[in-house]
Chain A
């Protein structure tokens, strides 16, 4: 890195305007954090106070009970074994769905004829509510983890497929022609132009599909299973254990949030050229 680059990336703290601007941004960010925490605390306090005098805790439980439930699950080691199974199905389903969705989307986008032939069938299956496939997967793969993987893979497949397809079709023809004239063969064109150009679309597809992979796995567990977070929630509900249902939801929401944040950072790094 030469001096110019360094000057570009490091804020110039010798300037008062720069320092003031930085302070202003930091102050704004701090205020936002405080407001975020305040909203959460207020909500929990209202929930805790309302449970009982206003609404029957049978329906809404109360934060303290939900928290106690979570602590209880962790202490008995149940939480992480159930969560582990759900996450395992999510990750494998996501991997299978995204790799196959990417490959098929890429081929259809690159070879227009192939895409045109399969298009009506893909559209028909796409319009099908994927959850309606769950009974079929249970017949095919049983009530074990395989049917949950299939469920989540199918949902992920379509999201990644459609985005990859659009991304490959969206490549600027000037970039293709220019790079060919510069000497690129088909493979080099793919690596240097088509793949990076489609990356923004593909990443969007991947990002959107992560929560859906989780949904697929949990829905599969609702239908029939004896393990996993979906099972825990369904069982708590069957036993009228409202605190257990909420505790399960809290766990799923937290997992989803963590995964999303990770993806956001990954995307920011890969697409940093967008500035």
Chain B
């Protein structure tokens, strides 16, 4: 197992009140598996991702990644968020180079690998551009090249394409899948977009509203390699969508009623 979440509980204190984000949550994620978390906002799916990344500490329980308990920043994952995580004062090339340099790769070797990585995400020719000179989609490509640079076995993605427009989102999903097909990394993908979760993942985990628990686990048996542009119109896709939506809808309505 790549990731073992063992009865994890997470409490926050907000304005003098206790908030239970996750309650006795357990889940195993296999090596090379693509898992998507969906659920209403505030259900603890991002909190769980941040705990796997080692940014947050569980209040109770433990998380094992590659057989080791996560304590402090988890350096064997790649972490990508919806917000721009690129350093704005570094060019695209220097951003992708950063994790390599931090891990002691020599300047010349790093430069070579960066050129190849930027080509992988179709961004050749934009090496010297600063993030604010790139479009939203291009920035996502640089961020993707950055997490691929040091070849972590696991990618943690927190609504990475949430801020992109609908068409661009599909393009990026398609590229992510192509990269995943080649590298077979373990991916944990948080999203509120159910269609995105089904299009990408082997398994979709539906969270309940706060406190977050598993409402439904659904294996997505669509054939690989997938076509994110067309799969969604197939009857199989729609049947899966309908089944998961049945579980998700009441949770979302519950959140709205509060």
Contact = CB atoms under 8 A, between A and B. Distances in A.
A193 B132 CA distance: 17
Interface stretch (A52-60, A114-122, A180-188, A201-209): A180-188
B39 to A, nearest CB: 22
A264 interface: no
Contacts of A256: none
A175 B74 contact: no
Interface stretch (A1-9, A161-169, A213-221): A1-9
Nearest to B126: A4
Contacts of A4: 125-126
A7 to B, nearest CB: 10
B103 A1 contact: no
B30 interface: no
A272 B87 CA distance: 13
Interface residues of B, number: 33
B102 A188 contact: yes
B73 A196 contact: no
B161 interface: no
A199 B88 CA distance: 12
Contacts of B81: 174, 178
Interface string A7-37: 0100000000000000000000000000000
B50 to A, nearest CB: 8
B130 interface: yes
B75 A181 contact: yes
A181 B87 contact: no
B87 A175 contact: yes
Contacts of A64: none
A5 B128 contact: yes
A179 interface: yes
Contact of A177 (B79, B84, B90): B79
Contacts of A197: 89
A182 B98 contact: yes
Interface-centre pick from A179, A180, A181 (highest chain B CB count, 10 A): A181
A275 interface: yes
A179 B79 contact: no
A158 to B, nearest CB: 26
Contact of A273 (B78, B88, B146): B88
B73 A273 contact: no
B150 interface: yes
Nearest to A5: B128
Interface string B133-148: 1000000000000100
Contacts of B128: 1, 5
A177 B85 CA distance: 9
B89 A178 contact: no
B244 interface: no
A275 B150 contact: no
Contacts of B54: 181
A196 B77 contact: no
B12 to A, nearest CB: 16
B53 A181 contact: yes
Contacts of A188: 102
Interface string A231-274: 00000000000000000000000000000000000000000111
Nearest to B132: A275
B103 A183 contact: yes
Contacts of B74: 181
A193 B73 contact: no
A197 B73 CA distance: 21
B55 interface: yes
B1 interface: no
Contacts of B79: 177-178, 181
Given A174-B81, A183-B102, A275-B132, A2 B125 contact: yes
Interface-centre pick from A4, A177, A183, A197 (highest chain B CB count, 10 A): A183
Query: A-B pairs with the 5 shortest C-beta distances?
Result: A182-B99, A180-B73, A183-B102, A4-B125, A273-B130
Given A174-B83, A183-B102, 10 more contacts: A1-B128, A2-B127, A4-B125, A177-B79, A182-B103, A188-B102, A192-B102, A273-B89, A273-B91, A273-B130
